[in-house]
């Protein structure tokens, strides 16, 4: 298209047409009252005033030719800056187990082992870019389970039981009626990943069918219905949106788990391959989480955040966590200078191998926590949070 002898690209035409429309005072009310991004403003202004704009361009061709396109755009931006206003106050609840509490990330040493380096803190920071105020509640607790713990565990902290975390969210959100985001990472402890003797006993079940049947029953008859009931309870509040994360497989792909220690080679089955058995458990759990979301629906308020694939190639590193060289791990490990988690290795073995206490070959390190946070933030935007 040629306007007054000026050959323009489509984008340049939009800029010129919008500018001449401003001269005719037809686009000013539009730009003053509309909040979409600047490009959209250009298009709408141009569409509503093309005819008058071309006429003005024809009668004022010299000044327009003498003004650079960049200058026109700058003038328009300076006159009508596009600012996306922040939304009002939001309540953000971070629920779950040790992955969400920040276990080992210089945590506070409390029964819930919470850390300001946990992934929910990064999510909170992202929310602060979109909301004027974020009321943050960090209920996640290391060791938390969907199954009801014994009374001794509950006495350590009531949030060791996921049910209590959810109940407090419902109580607060019902009163506040503010927009609410809930993030959930749960299930690893219910699989026994927090209890080395228990976990190894499960991994060492004598035959593959026996192990798979055990995992299927645990997830299908216990974890899945319990979690679905809790998510439904949260979504019963119309102001609540929920994001559930998958969990990662931390086990080194060439690992017999704790290579070079008394625990090495204790997984049984295929060449003492702990990775394969951990893989079965974690994939089953993640599949159950996806099934819960599909069963409930309400995708405008409920999402599953993919995590599993993002940790592939970043599993726990050698020499203790496995044999395969992992140069860019997302997982804490014995000797990790930043981790203060209690190593799963017994003290006698740590001393023999001259390994510091930190790092347990399971929980996300700082990089891993950031992967969780960035992934959750993407889904928070999808549910309007």
How does pLDDT run across 222-259, given as a tens digit for each residue? 999 999 999 999 999 999 999 999 999 988 887 655 54
- Region 297-321: mean pLDDT is 91
What 3-state class would DSSP assign to 258? coil
Q: What are phi and psi of 54, to 5 degrees?
A: -65, -40
**Tokens describing residue 162:** 């996921």
Torsion angle, alpha carbons of 333, 335, 338, 340, to 10: 80
The C-alpha angle with vertex 376 and arms to 106 and 183, in degrees rounded to 5, equals 75
CB 246 within 8 Å of CB 312 = no
How high is the pLDDT of residue 44? Answer: 41
90-to-135, 169, 177, 240 alpha-carbon distances in Å: 6, 13, 10, 10
Residue 95, beta-bridge partner list: 184
Kindly report which listed range (18-32, 82-96, 347-361) carries the lowest average pLDDT score.
18-32
ω before 319 within 30° of 0 (cis)? Answer: yes
In the chain, % helix, strand, coil (3-state, to 5) comes to 45, 10, 45
Whole-number pLDDT of residue 183: 98
**pLDDT above 60: residue 4:** no
d(CA 122, CA 233): 26
Report residue 25's pLDDT band, with 50, 70 and 90 as the boundaries: very low
- Reported as a single tens digit per residue, the pLDDT across 179-202 is 999 999 999 999 877 665 556 555
pLDDT at 78: 59
Confidence of residue 32 (pLDDT cuts 50, 70, 90): very low
Check residue 77 and give its pLDDT: 53
- Residue 285, pLDDT > 80, answer yes
For position 19, what pLDDT does the model report? Answer: 47
Whole-number pLDDT of residue 140: 98
Is residue 32 within 8 A of residue 45, CB to CB? The reply is no
Task: Read off the pLDDT of each residue in 337-362 and give the average, rounded to a whole number.
Answer: 68
Q: What is the pLDDT of residues 139-179, one digit of tens each?
A: 999 999 999 999 999 999 999 999 999 999 999 988 888 99
Using pLDDT thresholds of 50, 70 and 90, give the confidence band for residue 309. Answer: very high
* Per-residue model confidence as pLDDT tens digits over 311-342: 999 998 877 777 788 889 999 987 787 888 76
The predicted model gives 105-127 an average pLDDT of: 96
* pLDDT computed for residue 61 by the predictor: 42
Across 17-40, average pLDDT: 41
Question: Of all residues in the chain, what percent carry a pLDDT higher than 90?
Answer: 48
Name 187's bridge partners. none
Contact assessment for residue 60 and residue 6, using Cβ atoms and an 8 Å cutoff: no
Identify the structural domains of the chain with CATH numbers, from first to last.
Answer: 2-79 (no CATH), 90-382 (3.40.50.1110)
Q: Under a CB-based contact definition with an 8 Å cutoff, are residues 247 and 285 in contact?
A: yes
State the average pLDDT over residues 58-71.
47
């Amino acid at each position: 298209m040629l306007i007054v002898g000026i050959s323009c690209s489509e984008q340049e035409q939009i800029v010129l047409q919008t500018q001449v429309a401003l001269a005719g005072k037809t686009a000013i009310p539009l730009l003053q009252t509309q909040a979409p991004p600047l490009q959209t403003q250009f298009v709408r202004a141009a569409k509503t005033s093309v005819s008058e704009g071309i006429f003005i361009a024809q009668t004022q061709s010299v000044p327009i030719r003498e003004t650079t396109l960049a200058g026109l755009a700058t003038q328009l931006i300076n006159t009508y800056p596009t600012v996306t206003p922040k939304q009002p106050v939001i309540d953000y609840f971070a629920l779950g187990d040790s992955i969400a509490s920040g276990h080992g990330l210089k945590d506070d040493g409390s029964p819930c082992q919470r850390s300001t380096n946990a992934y929910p803190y990064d999510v909170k920071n992202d929310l602060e870019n979109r909301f004027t105020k974020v009321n943050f509640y960090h209920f996640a607790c290391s060791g938390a389970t969907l199954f009801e713990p014994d009374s001794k565990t509950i006495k350590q902290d009531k949030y060791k039981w996921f049910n209590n975390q959810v109940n407090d969210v419902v109580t607060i959100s019902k009163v506040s009626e503010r927009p609410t985001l809930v993030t959930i990472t749960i299930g690893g402890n219910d699989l026994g990943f927090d209890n080395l003797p228990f976990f190894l006993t499960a991994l060492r079940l004598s035959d593959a069918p026996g192990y798979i049947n055990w995992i299927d029953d645990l997830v299908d008859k216990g974890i899945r219905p319990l979690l679905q009931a809790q998510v439904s309870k949260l979504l019963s509040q119309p102001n609540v949106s929920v994001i559930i994360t998958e969990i990662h497989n931390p086990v080194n792909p060439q690992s017999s788990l704790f290579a070079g220690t008394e625990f090495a080679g204790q997984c049984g089955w295929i060449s003492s391959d702990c990775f394969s058995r951990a893989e079965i458990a974690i994939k089953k759990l993640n599949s159950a989480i996806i099934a819960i979301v599909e069963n409930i629906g309400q995708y405008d308020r409920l999402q599953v955040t993919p995590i599993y694939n993002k940790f592939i190639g970043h599993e726990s590193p050698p020499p203790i966590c496995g044999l395969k060289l992992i140069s860019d791990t997302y997982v804490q490990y014995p000797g990790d200078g930043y981790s203060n988690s209690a190593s799963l290795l017994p003290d006698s073995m740590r001393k023999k191998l001259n390994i510091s206490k930190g790092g347990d070959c399971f929980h996300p390190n700082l990089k891993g926590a950031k992967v969780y946070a960035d992934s959750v933030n993407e889904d928070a935007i999808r549910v309007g949070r």
